[in-house]
Amino acid sequence: MRVITLVIAIVLALSLTIFPLAYAEPSVEIIMEKTTYSYCEKLFYTIKVSEVTGNPAIIHIRDESGKGSSAIPFPIADLENPVPSRVAFEKEIFPLGKYFIDVEYSGSETTAEFTLIDTDKTCIPEVVKPIMANWLSGNISDGFLIDAFQKFTEDEGIFKIPFDINETTVYDVNIPQWVKSIGYWWLEGAISDDELANAINNLIERNIISLNQKMGNDI
């Protein structure tokens, strides 16, 4: 009996040596919030893994031509890890079409895709937000805010401003103090881009936001 037991032990040891246990790599999956986005929306998805290894996920985002971002390391602390984008899609940066998200994690790879489409939705570029914040803080004049509306949304025609802003008139624009509440609501996401544009355009039409006309002195 002892001989048989010893033989079995030797055979098991040899089998483990000759046929080592296979190591299963952690699995990785991309869960998309949605697969169609438009300008002014922010990309959001979740990286789901089978185990936390301590390694980061490496993310690449590319378009149909293969042009893409540099490697983006993203820490994996849980089995499901939300990946929110900090900036929205803008026409000047992202062309319309199909995009791919490639994720590599601890030897495993996966890909998901989404499509960027154009809609009639009003979209104010992100660059306007810090200008709005500076205006709310009193760091820039009313005219500089209106100039930003003109300059960064001119192609889309979002704001209907009937006067030109230049070096002479930039300090002559008058916006009532109470309008700042609308600016705060917009920055906090309480109102949409479309609602902000409608409010500003309405105030301009009613001459509540106006350009002060200076009268010349008779000589």
**Structural domain boundaries in the chain:** 28-117, 128-211
End-to-end CA distance of the chain: 127
Please give the pLDDT value at position 174: 93
Please give the pLDDT value at position 23: 59
Amino acid at 190: A
pLDDT digits (tens, 9 = 90+) for 128-143: 999 999 999 999 999 9
CA gap 62, 81 in Å, rounded: 21
* Confidence bin at 4 (pLDDT 50/70/90): low
Given this structure, which CATH class describes domain 28-117? Answer: mainly beta
Radius of gyration of the chain (CA): 29
**What is the percent of the chain where pLDDT is above 90?**
63
The rounded mean pLDDT for the chain is 86
pLDDT digits (tens, 9 = 90+) for 45-94: 999 999 999 999 999 999 999 888 889 999 999 999 999 998 889 888 89
Cα torsion for 36, 38, 42, 44, to the nearest 10°? 0
82 - beta bridge partners? 46
CA gap 208, 75 in Å, rounded: 50
- Number of H helices and E strands in the chain, helices first, is 5, 10
HSE toward the beta carbon, residue 65, CA cutoff 13 A: 7
